[in-house]
C-alpha cells in the first residue's frame, strides 16, 4: 500500500524536471549570476557535456537537468520567445532520436549528429583509447589489433541482429499516432542478445521480447520490413541505431575482454593492470573516451564568443 505522502513525494520528483519548474530556477538565478552561462540537458546528458563545456567556460556555467526532450524544447521556446534574456548566454542540448532533425533551427540549440549521446561513446576510436589507457595495449601490439578485429566483427553481428528491434523503435516514432504503450527504455538488451568474444547470439528471451513489442504496436510485417530497409539505407549503424543498446554492446564487449584476460588463452600474455570497472554510471565512467563531434566544438566555441561579449558588457 502506498500512502498519500509517498504519492506526493513521487509527484514532486516528477515536477522537478518540468519546464515550468526549471524556468523558475533559471529566472531567479539569471538575475544574480549574469557572468555565467546556463545549460539545459535532458536526463543524464550532463555527464557527457559538462567536461566539454568546462574546457571552454571554466567554472562559469550553471546546469539544469530537464525531464526529457519535450521539456527542453518547451523551455527553449519560453526563454527565447522574450527579449528579457537576450543578455544571458543560454545553451540547450537534445538527442536527435528518430525524430525530424531540428539542427540549425535555433542557434541556442545543439542536437546530437547521431541518435543520442550514447552513440558518441561506442565508436571504434573510443575503444582504441580504452585499450591503450585501461589495458595498457598499444596500436603496434598484436593483442591490440586482435581486439579491434573482434570488435568490428561482433559489432557487425550485433547490429544485424538488433535491426528488427530498431525498426520497431523507428516505426513507432515515425507513426506518431501509433500505440505509445510500449516502453522501449524498460527492455533490456541482454534479453535480446548475448555478447561473446567470438559471436553475438540471440538470447533465449529474444522471440518473446520482440513478439510482445509487435503485439503492443500492431504493425504490419510489411511496415516493419520497409522500416528495416530505410535504416539499412541510412547506414552507420553505430551512429543511427538506438544509443542505449549500442552502449550496452560496447560495455558488454569490454567486460568480455576483461573476462577472457582473466580466463587466459585469448591474449598473448595475461595483463594484470586492467582496472576499468563499468557500472550503471557508465556515462560518467567512459565520458573521457567519448567522441566530441566537430558540430559540438563549433557550437561551444560560438557560444563562448557570445559569452565573452556579454560578460565584458555587464
Instruction: Tell me the pLDDT tens digit for each residue of 49-78.
Output: 999 999 999 999 999 999 899 999 999 999
Q: What's the pLDDT at 19? A: 85
Binned at pLDDT 50, 70 and 90, residue 185 comes out as confident
Q: What's the pLDDT at 177? A: 53
Q: What's the pLDDT at 3? A: 44
Q: What's the pLDDT at 8? A: 55
Q: Which three cell numbers stand for residue 157?
A: 553481428
Q: What's the pLDDT at 67? A: 85
Least confident of 63-77, 173-187, 238-252: 173-187
d(CA 176, CA 174): 6
d(CA 207, CA 202): 9
Please list the residues that pair with 42 across neighbouring strands.
Answer: 66
Q: Mean of the pLDDT values across residues 281-304?
A: 97
Residue 14 has pLDDT above 60, yes or no: no
Residue 180 has pLDDT above 70, yes or no: no
Contact in structure between 79 and 90 (CB atoms under 8 Å): yes
pLDDT, one tens digit per residue, over 119-147 is 999 999 999 999 999 999 999 999 999 99
Please list the residues that pair with 38 across neighbouring strands.
Answer: 62, 90
Which H or E run contains 147? helix 142-161
Q: Mean of the pLDDT values across residues 255-272?
A: 95
HSE value, Cβ hemisphere, 13 Å, CA-based, for 161: 23
Q: What is the mean pLDDT of the chain?
A: 91
Amino acid at each position: 500500500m502506498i500512502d498519500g505522502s509517498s504519492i506526493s513525494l513521487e509527484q514532486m520528483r516528477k515536477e522537478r524536471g518540468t519546464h515550468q519548474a526549471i524556468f523558475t530556477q533559471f529566472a531567479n538565478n539569471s538575475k544574480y549570476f549574469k557572468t555565467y552561462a546556463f545549460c539545459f540537458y535532458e536526463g543524464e546528458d550532463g555527464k557527457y557535456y559538462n567536461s566539454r563545456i568546462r574546457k571552454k567556460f571554466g567554472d562559469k556555467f550553471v546546469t539544469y537537468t530537464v525531464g526529457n526532450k519535450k521539456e527542453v524544447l518547451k523551455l527553449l521556446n519560453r526563454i527565447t520567445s522574450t527579449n528579457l534574456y537576450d543578455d544571458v548566454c543560454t545553451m540547450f542540448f537534445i538527442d536527435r532520436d528518430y525524430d525530424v532533425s531540428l539542427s540549425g533551427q535555433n542557434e541556442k540549440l545543439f542536437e546530437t549528429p547521431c541518435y543520442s549521446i550514447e552513440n558518441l561513446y561506442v565508436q571504434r576510436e573510443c575503444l582504441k583509447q580504452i585499450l591503450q589507457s585501461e589495458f595498457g595495449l598499444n596500436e603496434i601490439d598484436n593483442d591490440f589489433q586482435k581486439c579491434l578485429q573482434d570488435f568490428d566483427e561482433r559489432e557487425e553481428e550485433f547490429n544485424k541482429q538488433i535491426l528488427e528491434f530498431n525498426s520497431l523503435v523507428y516505426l513507432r516514432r515515425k507513426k506518431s499516432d501509433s500505440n505509445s504503450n510500449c516502453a522501449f527504455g524498460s527492455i533490456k538488451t541482454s534479453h535480446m542478445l548475448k555478447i561473446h568474444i567470438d559471436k553475438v547470439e540471440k538470447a533465449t528471451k529474444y522471440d518473446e521480447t520482440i513478439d510482445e513489442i509487435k503485439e503492443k504496436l500492431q504493425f504490419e510485417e510489411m511496415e516493419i520490413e520497409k522500416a528495416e530497409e530505410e535504416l539499412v539505407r541510412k547506414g552507420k549503424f553505430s551512429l543511427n541505431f538506438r544509443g542505449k543498446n549500442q552502449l550496452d554492446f560496447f560495455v558488454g564487449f569490454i567486460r568480455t575482454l576483461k573476462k577472457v584476460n582473466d580466463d587466459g588463452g585469448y591474449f598473448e600474455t595475461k595483463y594484470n593492470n586492467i582496472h576499468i570497472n563499468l557500472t550503471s554510471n557508465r556515462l560518467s565512467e567512459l565520458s573521457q573516451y567519448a567522441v566530441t563531434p566537430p558540430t559540438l566544438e563549433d557550437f561551444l566555441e560560438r557560444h563562448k564568443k557570445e559569452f565573452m561579449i556579454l560578460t565584458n558588457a555587464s
